[in-house]
Structure 1
Amino acid sequence: MSVTIEKDSTAADSAATPEISPVAGHIGAEVTGVDLRHSLTDAQVDAIRAALHRYKVLFFHDQQIAHADQIAFSARFGTVTPSHPYDDEAPEGFPEILAVDSRKYAKRFGKVKYSYDNKWHTDVTALINPPAATVLRADIVPEQGGDTQWTNLVAAYNGLPQPLKLLADGLRAEHRFGGRHPQWSHDSSYAQKTQTNPIVTEHPVVRVHPVTGERSLFVTPGFTARLVGLSSAQSDRLLDLFFDEVTNPAYTVRLRWRAGTVAFWDNRATAHLAPTDLDDTQTTRVLYRTTLEGDIPVGPDGSASLSIAGAEFRGTGSGGN
């Protein structure tokens, strides 16, 4: 049974209990019954946080919110960070907002793109403390195409046979922007930023979630460059095996964006795939992203990630997780 909320009633919104409706077998749920233009109650925050940890990514449709609303919503769940380590084009007055704008990417990357990386990735794992969670709001979306997919990294780990779990538990991997094969032009502004200000981290291949205690397969094509201590050939073969498990369609959910849709995902337990069906179409697609300050990943043996280059990425406020 759905909950109907009057859009102009603050009292009704503040009293509403979010309704959580799962949308796929392993990941994803729609949230109804709240208007994100209004401040959430503590009970609503607790319900949404619990759903996030269970379903990994949540979808809120028909949310007519602005930058300030998005930042305020994000801040109820943690410390909001600056937009991105390499972003210098945040909307004026909103340094926390990253514009995922197809109109800007041609200049940054030397080719038409609809995200900075059209490969499966967990946000900014090159950092020693990748974001704990991400909020993405759709502003301008195409009539066809432009979908985003998410995968459950906990399900990917659980899907491995026991011998591979034991192997993965003891491995560590180097994460850097672009992974093994960066997609941007070597002379683009983005390539120059990654070369002059490198951000590289060694993470455990299996990450233990700091809240749920679940283990996830913490490797993705967008950032994972190599497995530490192995030859290039050995690393590539094992990474391909792990990537196949991470991107197994059984663990995924796909979102058809519409203007006003907000996606909120646990970046510690998911990876996502930006659209590839719009390349060379000159279609405009604009979304706005905020991220929450993350913790330093820890593996099954209790060992933490190790920074090779780059500092921790911190916000200025405080909040929960």
Structure 2
Amino acid sequence: MEFTTGARLEVRITPADVGKRVSVRRLTGADDGAEKFTDTVGVLTSWDDGVVLVTRRTGETVRIAESTLVAGKVVPAAPARRRGPAASFRELTRVAARAWQPVEREALGEWELRASGGFTRRANSALPLGEPGMPLDEALGRVRRWYERRDLPAYIQTATGAEGTQELLCAELESRDWLREVTAQMRIGALAPLADGPRGADPASAHVRLERGVGEAWLRRYQRFEEPGPHVLSVLGGGPSVWFASVDGDDGVPAAIGRCVIDGRWAGFMAVEVDPGRRRQGLASTVMRALAGRALDEGASAAWLQVESDNDAARALYDGMGFTTHHLYHHFRAA
């Protein structure tokens, strides 16, 4: 609760505070004759025509009638509670982008337009890391036309929930009817405990094969595309130091797979998938442990991964491995 009982309530924010993190309280109704209030914490993204917009760390934008405000103040950034390595939003975003390198790219100011035949939004979206060098509406028109020429939907990848993230841009996109389709978590953690594995784990319980190239068997388990054309192989094989892991299964299809991209101090884990009939046997952990060991050998010390916010099973797995959420990222699609 940002406003304690007995404290003097007053609105100490103005439209000049747009872009700052705020805490506001508004009157939302009455219950049995008593006033009812709701608190909202987030970035003040707009204050126009009597309507206040606050974008929460989840990317959700809350519309508040100015007439219902009873209190408001600027608040400092949320204190870091993560146990993992120190990292900035910009550093992590660049590291993740290098792990999903597009087939084609073009600069638009400090935005990067990326295309890879539609394989994974992370390689088929505009990535803003600053200003586009022109008014926003003009930039959005350029983005739309760039993807239209490639017969692809226009996506923009944004982030919320950390210092320097893009709550203001999210609100601008929503006001122009861009649709937020996917929200995922960027998680980070220490690498060494991941390589050691959980207590009681048997590293020899499943043999993990590590290879530099992506093979046909690995692709049969991945199944995130219609046809594994050259664009798929290019994206999966791109990155500073890429490793593919697999555990033997039946009929030439691995029981479990994973991909790791090692980039300086960072090791990124992705494409960790397990045969539905072999789940809850520790295979995902075994694959990640083998990849983490290789990353340690190459000098990495920190780990990152991305998981969609509604994937409860994966989030629980990564919770147990010590990963914590650094920020959220979203893909907005042109309406």
- TM-score, normalising length from structure 1? 0.31
Higher relative contact order (CA 8 A, sep 6+): 1
Higher strand share: 2
- TM-score, normalising length from structure 2? 0.31
